[in-house]
Amino acid sequence: MTPKKLIISWFSAGVSSAVATKLAMDEIDKIIYIHIDDQHPDTLRFVDECEEWFGKPIERLQSPYKCVENAVFMHGKGYINGVAGANCTRWLKKRVRMEWEAEHGRHFKYVWGMDSSEKHRADRIEETMHDQEHRFPLIEQGISKEHAHKILTASGIARPAMYELGYHNNNCVGCVKGGMGYWNRIRVDFPEVFKQRAEMERKVGRSCINGVFLDELDPSRGRHDPPIVADCGIFCELEKLS
């Protein structure tokens, strides 16, 4: 007899993920958040308030590597990102998920936070992660990213601080998948993080932006309006697959 599939929300601590989780709450068996030390400190406040809003506990997991720089240098010689994806996604998120799956079996249905404009990303997940079933509450109900933000506002929960600073998503501060405009915003808002990432690039000998090191980036380059960088999560690793 095939065991019942557990319905899991891999909660990213973003607005769309929060609203999708809330919409599917009556079906969800477990909510899991994978923490990275490079997240803005306000993220944990948001996770705590969402836990109360959901009315179910959020299981918090974390890689032993804890932060982006540890993941980049985990094999000694540094690797930031490239055609194989980003080391931070691989070791801080993907490996944590895979270890959890290995411990708990593979009979799952996953709840995702893609909004109504991201049907292509939902299709990619279903094509790539065909061992699991998938639900996309925002797509199913035609809810846009803007509408999701309004739903969260109506709940009384303040958005994570990164949104209030003008970022499109609540990724790690200094996401290595960001472009020139993103990094020039980080340079202004989080100068110490910008400096740390620039030093990390030099240690590795390769930039996270094609063609230019951060410490050589012209402050006027790139678009500064959101969306600045896409959501970081399990689907980051999927989009690198062909």
Per-residue pLDDT tens digits for 28-84? 999 999 999 999 999 999 999 999 999 999 999 999 999 999 999 987 778 998 877
pTM above 0.75, yes or no: yes
Exposed, middle or buried: residue 242 (CB in 10 Å: 0-12, 13-18, 19+)?
A: exposed
Which two structure tokens, joined as six digits, stand for 198?
Answer: 């620039």
Whether the pLDDT of residue 234 is over 80: the answer is: no
What is the per-residue pLDDT for 113? 94
Contacts of 19 (CB under 8 A, 6+ apart): 113, 137, 138, 143, 148, 151, 152
Tell me the backbone φ, ψ of residue 101, rounded to 5 degrees: -60, -40
230/96: higher pLDDT: 96
**Structural domains in the chain, sorted by start:** 6-238 (3.40.50)
Burial letters 95-129, b for 16+ CB under 10 A, else e: bbbeebeeeeeeebbbbbbbbbebeebbebbeeee
Q: Is 65 exposed, middle or buried (0-12, 13-18, 19+ CB in 10 A)?
A: buried
Mean of pLDDT values over 186-202: 97
**Which whole-number Å values give the CA distances from 72 to 68, 91, 182, 238, in the listed order?**
6, 9, 20, 19
* Alpha carbon 155 to chain centroid, angstroms: 22
At 196-221, the pLDDT tens digits run 999 999 999 999 988 899 999 999 98
